[in-house]
Amino acid sequence: MQEEPMFNQTQLNDFEAVLDAFHGYDNLAGVFVGNEVLSFANGSTAAPYIKAAAKYVKAYRDSKGYRTIPVGYSAADIPELRPYLQDFLACGGNASETVDFFSLNAYEWCGASSYTVSGYSQLEANATGYPLPIFFSETGCNTVPPRTFGDQAAIFGSEMVDTWSGAIIYEWIEEANNFGLISYGPEVAATATEGVGGFIRSGTPTPISPDFTNLMNQWATLTPTGVALSAYSASGSSLSTPACPTSTPNGWMINGNAALPSVGQSGAATAVTASATGTAGSAGSGTASSPSASATKSTANGGREIVGMTIALAIVMLSFIVWL
């Protein structure tokens, strides 16, 4: 919980169990140590626990001799925190304590929007020069139906393709929040054994019209160019580690240079809070002009958001950059 952050041995054991179960799959692109753990503008005191979780998961991965499976985080699109958290998880100069990738759940591009009106131009500005792979872990605003997925042309076009490593469309199966691209059948009773929460999750998929076709047609117009590992390595060597952000009067309350919490610690005090009158670090150069994720994404399926730090799999990625 971001109000009372914690990281304990039980959580670490769960993280380790996921790596034990999935490390042998060669199509595993990476793992998350959290999804939208920070979901409010005043939730920054939980940030050190996200970074600590990544540190311990990476240490366990290496101790077991597993391949270097990337460990990252999926962030809610909170304008007051977005650029600070992004830099905080990559700063410090110690690769054993930083995430390997950063991803964003963004629902800013709704309806017939544009690169500038949606705020994507600002996302690109904040991500330019970022030293880690960065991508959209959720996108697909549905507040202005039907969804036409116009943001895909920007993400895989000249404005963003050299910075962002693709996007994951939210979501595959139709549920109560109406984000699904396919359905496995009509809604059933929430207690029915053949469904989960009233929705069947197996069988023959039926495309949801017109969203499925709209996305298919949008992707058919795109010709993203892949990046060779040699080119990526060469360009990455010229990028510098961002400075750790210090506290700001607008919500970021963390001294980014302080030691990370250890297993068993809890509470905002051990998360190293700082005075809200501090000077902003380099991340503060980003500005926010778009709504937060909570303003544009429904959570009607009751519990999709992960409030604790649970580990999830990044399994459906379009044109995801290979950095292994």
Please write the tens of the pLDDT for every residue from 53-87. Answer: 999 999 999 999 999 999 999 999 999 899 999 99
Decide: helix, strand or coil at residue 183. strand
Give per-residue pLDDT as tens, 15-37. 999 999 999 999 999 999 999 99
- Per-residue pLDDT for 191 more than 90? no
Mean pLDDT for 159-183 is: 95
| Placement of tokens 């670490």 in the chain | 12
C-alpha span between 284 and 274 (Å, rounded): 16
Q: Which two tokens stand for residue 130?
A: 């970022």
Q: Which residues does residue 13 pair with via DSSP β-bridges, in sequence order?
A: none
- Cβ count near 22 (within 10 Å): 16
pLDDT over 50 (residue 251): yes
Number of Cβ within 10 Å of residue 292's Cβ equals 20
Query: Which range among 87-91, 191-195, 291-295, 316-320 shows the weakest confidence by mean pLDDT?
Result: 316-320
Question: Residue 4's pLDDT band (boundaries 50, 70, 90)?
Answer: confident
Structure tokens, 50: 């996200």
Contacts of 17 (CB under 8 A, 6+ apart): none
Q: What is the set of active-site residues?
A: 36, 138
Amino acid type, 164: W
The pLDDT, as a whole number, for residue 52 is: 97
Q: How many angstroms separate the first and last alpha carbons of the chain? A: 32
* Sign of the C-alpha dihedral computed for residues 126, 164, 149 and 139 taken in this order: negative
Would the pTM of this model clear 0.75, i.e. be above it? Answer: yes
| CA 97 centroid distance within chain | 18
Q: What share of the chain in percent tops pLDDT 70?
A: 80
Q: What is the pLDDT, as a whole number, of residue 182?
A: 97
